[in-house]
Structure 1
Amino acid sequence: MHLNPFCMCCIINKQEKKIRPFPDENKKSDYMKKVLGVIAGCDEEACTASLAVQVQKIYEEYWNIHEDYTHIKHEFNQLMLGLEESLRASVRKSSDPLATALSYARIGNYIDFAALAKVDKKEILSMIESENKEPLDPQEYKNFKEDLKKASSLVYLTDNCGEIVLDKIAVEILKEKYPLLSVTVIVRGYPVVNDATMEDAQETGLDKIARVIGNGSNVGGTWLPGVSEETRTLLDQADVILAKGQGNFETLHECGLNIYYLFLCKCEWFTTRFHARPLQGMFINEKRC
């Protein structure tokens, strides 16, 4: 997805809000000029997620502040692991375990400290426990299953910590329903906000049920110019790709691959683009959205 004016302004506004409590107005003005310079000097391949990495680096160097989400990631991984068995049981007793597993996995996309000003444990638990879970788009779900019947390979692109416990259940069901399908799960190559990395895959046991690799990148998504050769080859050769989260849509949309995007709309651009309400779930295909 190409960088657009709305997302440019969002980057700027987030940074201004972030530094607003700081006392030195001259330093803040100088910093904001540096942020504007990153946006003004970006190339055609840039997207919101790739620019965010550059801006974060400037922030940490300029203010000598390093943001570490290790504790938060562990906290939410453990929260979801505590629910894993009951959620797995709920999935297996449902009339359509795959649809239910994907719905839970989509709800897990709420755990996003980059997109949301506040991530509330009570909110995610309420969404999980709700009896009125939002269904997947019926036509795209049908298309997804038809594609999987014909597929020999699936790449599953994860998004956030905690959420990957629900991805783990979805991957289990996918492998059971399509036993001949080769499934590879891809996490971020390096820490970026609370996105899932190999450490999170190992903590949650995701690596025990499927092949998991890091994508070689520290961008919050799957930015093709920055991923490893192994990741790029897997994506290019995959029959079906399931991509979680807004970041994967931002970095992959318009690439032309057979991608099914599964996420919650967590910012104004997404709610406007998809005529959706905040936190409404999406299940869409690259070629039909």
Structure 2
Amino acid sequence: MDLNLNCILCNIRQVLTVTDLLNLDAANKEIIMRRVLGYLHAADYKRSNPEVIRGTWDIITGHVKNKDPYREIKRYYNSELSSMAGKIRALINRSNDKFEAALKIAITANLIDFAANHAFDENMLLNKITAANQQPLAIDDSKDLYEKLKAADTLLYLGDNCGEIVLDKIFIENIKAIFPGITVYFGVRGKPIVNDVTVEDAAWVHMEDVAEVISNGDGSLGTVVERTTQDFRDVFYQADVIIAKGQGNFESLSEIDRGNIFFLFMAKCEAVASALHIANLSIICAKNDKSR
């Protein structure tokens, strides 16, 4: 999905968010903002926003000399969600359809912005998760996903953010319980970018218990395949099914010529919602289909 002009605002907001998080003074904020605006002026708008925002991130982190300013925040949310895992598993186990419940709960986690605000409300998240089974999917290809998994030997699950990685793990647990013969790979970013998951986050939640963790070798805010390593691309193109979590993975993969990709996320901006012909803030399980 090409960069939408509204995506420029996301780049600018990231400058404001990170510089506020690090308590930078006005002079340093201005230096970073001017550099980012210059970069965005010259950027190739035929690229996707996940790729473009990598350049913005490099400018910010290069100036502050901190490659992972969200590191402690990511650890905080990974820890908080891990402490809730037992309650979430119990909720799924009480469901009549464990696959659908685990899938919707994994998507529901994408509703929460596990970013710079440390004020975590467990009751709020549990209420959202409890209501997940009653929330309709604006695009619902979950039955097709189930059938594809039934016939699959391998699944590549592309992670998104911290915190929700815990619910991704629980969804994978349920997939493997239903389809015990399937081999699962869990894909993470190769370098820190915002609050996206890396090898460190996967290790923090013990993702290795349910999947082989693989780095894509790149630091884009999504999965820009041409920037990833050959080892990652081998798995990407050979896997029978791909589950891609989060809007960034949709933006970077929606135009790729590769079947059996299922996008699980909440549409958090009008540009993406419009591309899918759905209402903004809808949640979806959508198979890659450029004809939509």
Corresponding residue number in structure 1 for 2:240: 239
Find the residue that maps to 2:263 and give its secondary structure.
strand
Return closer, same or farther for 1:139/1:264 CA change in 2, 3 Å cut-off: closer
1:200-279 to 2 correspondences below 5 Å: 200-257=201-258, 258-274=260-276, 275-278=278-281
What displacement does 1:209 show?
A: 1.7
1:113-124 to 2 correspondences below 5 Å: 113=114, 121-122=120-121, 123-124=124-125
What displacement does 1:103 show?
A: 0.8
Deviates more, 1:188-197 or 1:127-136: 127-136
Deviates more, 1:81-90 or 1:14-23: 14-23
Q: Whole-Å Cα distance in 1 between the matches of residues 90 and 250 of structure 2?
A: 30
Corresponding residue number in structure 1 for 2:176: 175
Question: TM-score, normalization: structure 1?
Answer: 0.86
Corresponding residue number in structure 2 for 1:6: 6
Return closer, same or farther for 1:271/1:37 CA change in 2, 3 Å cut-off: same
Contact 1:106 1:262 in 2 (8 A): yes
CA deviations on 1:123-182 (whole Å, 9 max, x unpaired) are 433312337642446851121122222222211001111111111111111112112222
Return closer, same or farther for 1:87/1:55 CA change in 2, 3 Å cut-off: same
Q: Whole-Å Cα distance in 2 between the matches of residues 220 and 177 of structure 1?
A: 31
Q: Whole-Å Cα distance in 1 between the matches of residues 257 and 58 of structure 2?
A: 31
Q: Whole-Å Cα distance in 2 between the matches of residues 138 and 54 of structure 1?
A: 32
Q: Whole-Å Cα distance in 1 between the matches of residues 148 and 14 of structure 2?
A: 39
Find the residue that maps to 2:6 and give its secondary structure.
helix
CA deviations on 1:89-141 (whole Å, 9 max, x unpaired) are 22122111011001111111234356xx8576334333123376424468511
Uncovered stretches (5+) of structure 1, i.e. residues with no partner: none
Question: TM-score, normalization: structure 2?
Answer: 0.85
Letter in 2 for 1:228: T
Corresponding residue number in structure 1 for 2:284: 282
Q: Whole-Å Cα distance in 2 between the matches of residues 165 and 46 of structure 1?
A: 31
Contact 1:189 1:214 in 2 (8 A): yes
Return closer, same or farther for 1:80/1:31 CA change in 2, 3 Å cut-off: closer
Letter in 1 for 2:111: Y
Find the residue that maps to 1:269 and give its secondary structure.
helix
Return closer, same or farther for 1:237/1:44 CA change in 2, 3 Å cut-off: farther
Letter in 2 for 1:87: I
What displacement does 1:24 show?
A: 4.3
Equivalent pairs, count = 284
Contact 2:77 2:114 in 1 (8 A): no
Q: Whole-Å Cα distance in 2 between the matches of residues 127 and 66 of structure 1?
A: 33
1:1-289 to 2 correspondences below 5 Å: 1-12=1-12, 14-15=14-15, 22-24=25-27, 28=30, 31-43=32-44, 46-62=47-63, 68-113=69-114, 121-122=120-121, 123-130=124-131, 133-136=134-137, 139-257=140-258, 258-274=260-276, 275-278=278-281, 280-287=282-289, 289=292
